[in-house]
Chain A
Amino acid sequence: MNSRERVLAMLAGEPVDQLVLMPITMMFAADVIGAQYRDYALDHRVLVEAQIAVAEKYHFDYVSCISDPAREAADCGANIQLFDNQPPGLDEQRALLADKTALAKLKIPDPLGGGRMTDRVQAAALFKTKAGQSKFIEGWIEGPCAQAADLRGINSLMTDFFDDPAFVRELFEFVLEMELKFARVQIEAGADIIGVGDAAASLVGPALYEEFVLPFEKRMVDGLHALGTRVRLHICGNTRRILKGMGSLGCEIVDLDLAPLDEARRQMGNQILLGNLNPVRILRDGTTADVTHAIAECHRQAGARFIVGAGCEVPRGTPENNLLALAAYARSHAP
C-alpha cells in the first residue's frame, strides 16, 4: 500500500496498513531544500520540489499546494507585502475593501489568468506529473471568513458582523463564488482533495459562527463535493465552541488545532479527525519522547478515525528527529 492508496482507503472507510500522516508544512518544507520562502510562495516549481522532498524524507502520505492565504486577495488587487523568507502578508491599513462600497465593483479574478492563483493550479498539475501515482495531492482555498478577512481587514470584519450584517453576507457570497471557481481548476489540474482554511472562523463565537459562517462553509463544502472532490477543513485556533457545527459540514477530514480531541470525537461522531499535536510547545520545543507520548494520546482520544498531524503548520526550526518521531508513530501503528 503506497501513500496515495493509504489515504484513499482511509477516506473510503477501508482498512489501511498504518496510520495516515498528513502534517501541514510550509516554511519547514522550504527550509528542507534550502529555498527562500518568497520563492516557495511565488514559484510553484520550488513549492513542488520542497513538498516532495519533505514528504519523502519524513514519509508523509501527501503533498500540498498550501503556501499562504494571500493568493486570491493578491489576484483581486489587494496590497501584498512580500518578505524574503516568510509568507507574504496583508496590511489591514491598506485593505482592498477598507471602503465597503468597493465590493460592488470587485471582479472575481480568473484563476487561470496568470496570477498567484494560477501558480497554485500549476503546482497541482506539477504534483500530478511528479507524484500523482505515489502521493495524495491537496489543493487549497480559503474559507468564507478567512478570505473575507483578507479582503476587508480582520479587525473591520469582526465589527461588521454587528454593524453591517448585510455587507458580511454579500462579501461571503463573493468569496464563495471565487473560491469554488478556484477549487474547480485545482481539481481539474490534479488535486485529490481541497483544503479549506478558515482561520478567522475560530475568532467568532458559536452564535456568529452559526448565523454567518457555518451556512457559507456548508455551501462551500457542498459545492466542492458537487465538483467531485473531497474536503479537508482547517480552522486554526481554539474551535472548542464551534465543534458541532464543524462536524455538521460533511467534510472528509476535519483538522483540530487547540480544541480537545476527545470533545471533538464526542461532538462529531464518526468524523475523521486530524491533529492536534501542539506545533510549538511539543513538536518544535519538545523531545522525541514528548512527541511520541503526545501523539499517542491524540490517537487514544480520537480513536480509529484519526490522521496524524500537528494542530497547525509544522514550525520552522522543528528538530528533524521530532518530525521523524511523529512519522515513526504513524508507521508503527494501525488505526
Chain B
Amino acid sequence: MQDLKQLYQAVLDGNAKLSKSVTEAAIAEGVDPQKLVTEFMIPAMDEAGRRYECGDFFVPELLIAARAMKASLEIIRPLLTAQGTQPVGRVVIGTVKGDLHDIGKNLVAAMLEGGGFEVNDLGVDVAPEKFAAAAREKNATIVALSALLTTTMPSMKATVEALKAAGVRNHVKIMIGGAPVTQKYADEIGADGYSESAASAVTLARRLMAA
C-alpha cells in the first residue's frame, strides 16, 4: 500500500520524480484521484504558500514545488475529467499587453493550480481582446492580470474594458497584481481584487469565488 504522505512531502520538497511515481502507484492501487488532489497536493501547495509568505520558502522553492505538483497533475487531470469532476474555478491568467515579465504571473498560476483551480495561462504581452476571447472560450470564472511595469498598468484597465465590451465582465471576477499595482489602482479600474503575493492570490481567488 502506497504511503500517500509521501506525495504531500514530495510536492513540498519539489521532488517531481517522487511525486509522479507515488501518484502512479496510488492510481494503480485504485486510490481516488480526487483524494490525492484534495488531501495531499492542495495541502502541500498551501503549506508551500504559507512558507513563502513567512519567508521560509523563496521563488526557487515555490517553483520546484509547483513543478512537482504539475508532474502529478498531468497524471491525475485526465482521470478527473473522465469522472466529470469540476475544478474549484476556471482561471484565465496572463501578463498584460506590452509587458514581458512572467515570473510573478507564473507563481500565481502555479499557486492557483495547486489550490484546485483550472488555470489557462495565456503567457506574456497578452492583448486585452485575447483575454476577453479566452475568458469566453474557457468559460472562465476568474481573469487574473499581471504587470511589472508602471507603463503597462494601463493595459490592465484596457483589459477590463475589453471584458466589458465582449459582454463577459459580469461572468468573471477580475484580480490584478504586480510590483507597482495597488489596491487603489484595482479600485480605480474596476477590478474585483488585488493581491500582493502569489500565496495570497489563492486566498483572494477563493474569496472572490465565494462572493
The distance in angstroms between the C-alpha atoms of A280 and B60, with both chains bound, is 27
Give the chain A neighbours of B102 by CB distance below 8 A: 92, 155
Which B residues touch A155, using CB under 8 A?
A: 63, 102-103, 106
- Smallest beta-carbon distance A38→chain B, Å: 12
Q: Are B60 and A91 in contact (CB under 8 A)?
A: no
- How near does chain A come to B104, taking the closest CB pair, in angstroms? 10
Selected from B14, B58, B67, B149, the residue in CB contact (under 8 A) with A203 is: B58
B182 touching A285, Cβ below 8 Å: yes
B85 at interface, CB cutoff 8 A: no
CA distance A144 to B100 in the complex (A): 21
Indicate if A241 sits at the interface (CB-CB under 8 A): yes
CB distance from B145 to the nearest CB of A (A): 17
**Chain B interface main SS type:** loop
State which of B60, B182, B184 has its C-beta within 8 Å of the C-beta of A162.
B60
Measured between beta carbons, the chain A residues less than 8 angstroms from B179 are: 237, 280
Say yes or no: is A315 at the interface (Cβ < 8 Å to chain B): yes
How many angstroms from the CA of A93 to the CA of B95 in the assembled complex? Answer: 14
Which residue of the partner chain, among B60, B67, B149, B150, contacts A208 with CB atoms under 8 Å? B60
Interface mask (A249-277 → B, CB under 8 Å = 1, otherwise 0): 00000000000000000000000000000
Q: Residue among A89, A154, A316 with the most chain B CB within 10 A?
A: A89
B63/A280 in contact, CB under 8 A: no
Q: Quick check: is A205 within 8 A (CB to CB) of the other chain?
A: yes
With a cutoff of 8 Å between Cβ atoms, the chain B residues found around residue A162 in the complex are: 14, 60, 64
Residue A293 at the chain B interface, CB threshold 8 Å: no
Whether the Cβ atoms of A86 and B60 lie closer than 8 Å is no
Roughly how many angstroms separate A316 CA and B61 CA in the complex, as a whole number? 33
- Cβ of A86 and Cβ of B100 under 8 Å apart? no
Q: Is the interface of A mostly helix, strand, loop or mixed?
A: helix
Asked if A86 and B67 sit within 8 Å, CB to CB, the answer is no
Query: Residues of B within 8 Å of A, CB-based: how many?
Result: 29
Bound-complex Cα distance A90 to B100 (A): 7
Closest A residue to B150 by beta carbon equals: A315
Q: Closest CB-CB distance, A53 to chain B, in whole Å?
A: 20
Interface flags, B144-158, vs A, CB<8A=1, else 0: 000001111000000
Closest Cβ neighbor of B15 among chain A residues: A162
CA A27 to CA B125, docked complex, whole Å: 20
- With an 8 A cutoff between CB atoms, is A167 at the interface? no
Pairwise interchain contact B57-A205, C-beta atoms closer than 8 A: yes
Within the assembled complex, what's the spacing in Å between the Cα atoms of A281 and B55?
Answer: 23
Decide: B58 and A208 in contact? CB cutoff 8 A: yes
Interface contact tally, CB-CB below 8 A: 73
Q: Mark B139-182, 1 if CB is under 8 A from A, else 0.
A: 00000000001111000000000000000000000000001101
Contact A86 B98 (CB under 8 A): yes
Contact between chains at A280 and B150 (CB < 8 Å)? yes
- CB closest chain-B residue, reference A206: B58
Shortest distance from the beta carbon of A326 to any chain B beta carbon, whole Å = 18
Contact with B along A150-175 (1 / 0, CB 8 A): 00001100110110000000000000
A83 and B103 contacting across the interface, CB-CB below 8 Å? no
| Interface bits B51-70 vs A (CB < 8 Å: 1, else 0) | 00001111111011001000
> Which residues of chain A are near B57, meaning CB under 8 Å?
205
Q: Compute how far the CA of A159 lies from the CA of B107 in the bound complex, rounded to whole angstroms.
A: 13
Residues of A within 8 A of B149 (CB): 86-87
Of B55, B61, B98, which contacts A83 at CB under 8 A?
B98
Tell me if A240 is interfacial: C-beta within 8 Å of chain B.
yes
Given A90-B100, A285-B182, A285-B184, are A205 and B151 neighbors across the interface (CB < 8 Å)?
no
B124 at the interface (CB under 8 A from A): yes
B150 contacts A158, C-beta separation under 8 Å: no
Which one of A87, A92, A159, A284 lies within 8 Å of B63 (CB-CB)?
A159
- The distance in angstroms between the C-alpha atoms of A240 and B59, with both chains bound, is 15
Contacting pair A203 B60 (CB below 8 A): yes
* Most B CB within 10 A of own CB, among A81, A205, A279: A205
Spell out B's residues near A (CB within 8 Å). 14, 55-61, 63-64, 67, 98-103, 106, 123-125, 149-152, 179-180, 182, 184
Given A92-B102, A92-B124, 18 further pairs, Cβ under 8 A: A27-B151, A81-B125, A85-B151, A86-B152, A89-B100, A93-B123, A154-B103, A155-B102, A162-B64, A205-B56, A205-B60, A205-B61, A237-B179, A240-B55, A279-B180, A285-B182, A316-B151, A317-B150
12 A-B pairs within 8 Å (CB atoms) are namely A81-B100, A83-B98, A89-B99, A89-B101, A91-B124, A155-B63, A162-B64, A204-B60, A208-B60, A237-B179, A241-B58, A280-B179
Question: Which 4 A/B pairs are nearest by Cβ-Cβ distance?
Answer: A205-B58, A89-B100, A86-B151, A203-B59
